[in-house]
Amino acid sequence: MRTGKRGSRYEAAAAILPSRLRQAALELPAELQKAAEELRLRTGGELTALVGEEEFPLCGDVTAEEMETLCDIAADFSRYAAMETLREGYLPVRGGFRLGLCGTVVMKVGAASNLRHITSAALRIGREHPGVAEPLLPRLTEGRRFSNTLILSPPGGGKTTLLRDLVRLLSNGGWRIALVDERGEVAVCHQGIPQMDVGPRTDVLDGCPKALGIPMVLRAMNPQVIAVDEVTAREDIRSMTMAAGCGVGLLATVHAGSVEELCERPLYRELLEHRVFRLAVCIHRTEGQRHYSVEELAE
């Protein structure tokens, strides 16, 4: 991490909470702290820690005032400055965290302009796992050529973590990487500065929709590889197809448990029909451990 702070990632996340909730969070047993993926809050309900698929209750009766204080802390006490992401339902937090929010959406001219009366929050505990992608890298590169690759897993399977480490390794290896980080979950920029290590030759376009960001970095940054998280729309596919036609490598994540599941979904069938991607890295989770396999996509 670039923050240089001591202590565990869980402790750093708990430090963002209001004092009463912070103390309750730190009472979670150490072995569960190491595995916790989120701290979740609901106004009038409980503060819980998400570990795997289970939520562990930490304390009850979270107040509306505590929820508002949490948002103020996350936004460095300047919600106006954080409005761009707040109206999208989240706040990037110093130290490489992300606070997802639910509440009352304020609409203007058919679009969300603000989020207020916050009722639920999910503080994601992003962790770096340096080297997790090292065994995969030789399968994805041939000399100075990168094989266009999709990373597949169900939600919560570790796609973003693997994507981040692949970007870091490629960047450390001398590749020019353009990371279009639409939701701010890969580099986790705070005031424009990545809080996660994405490598010295990685240029980050933060908070920009992929369909707009891909042609932007293609024109402006001369990347060798463009990386994006969570392909979800046909506009994303069109932009990636255009970029592949310009000779740039592509690295992307998709919600799918397998190549077979990928082929069953109309949007992703369209993605495969364009034959933009050559390889798929599939993430499998068994008994709490993640395993990786590389498959060739049909020509």
In this structure, is residue 132 part of a structural domain?
no
Domain boundary residue, one of 124, 152, 177: 124
What does the pLDDT read at residue 66? 97
Domain boundary residue, one of 124, 147, 164: 124
Residues 119 and 152 in one domain: no
Domain boundary residue, one of 124, 151, 180: 124
How many domains does one find in the chain?
2
Question: Which residues are 286's β-sheet partners?
Answer: 289
In this structure, is residue 241 part of a structural domain?
yes
In this structure, is residue 1 part of a structural domain?
no
The pLDDT confidence band at residue 179, using thresholds 50, 70 and 90, is: very high
The percentage of residues in the chain with a pLDDT greater than 70, rounded to a whole number, is 96
Residues 249 and 151 in one domain: yes
Instruction: Give per-residue pLDDT as tens, 50-102.
Output: 998 899 999 999 999 999 999 999 988 888 887 888 888 888 888 778 899 99
Residues 69 and 211 in one domain: no
In this structure, is residue 129 part of a structural domain?
no
For residue 291, the domain's CATH number is 3.40.50.300
Domain that holds residue 152: 137-296
Average pLDDT, stretch 5-9? 64
In this structure, is residue 130 part of a structural domain?
no
pTM: 0.78
Residues 151 and 290 in one domain: yes
pLDDT over 80 at 103, yes or no: yes
In this structure, is residue 2 part of a structural domain?
no
Residues 147 and 101 in one domain: no
Instruction: Give per-residue pLDDT as tens, 213-227.
Output: 999 999 999 999 999
86 with 101: CB under 8 angstroms?
Answer: yes
Residues 111 and 236 in one domain: no
Residues 270 and 148 in one domain: yes
Residues 146 and 58 in one domain: no
For residue 54, the domain's CATH number is 3.30.450.90
In this structure, is residue 232 part of a structural domain?
yes
Residues 177 and 118 in one domain: no
Residues 85 and 232 in one domain: no
Residues 224 and 288 in one domain: yes
What does the pLDDT read at residue 299? 60
Residues 187 and 273 in one domain: yes
What does the pLDDT read at residue 113? 77
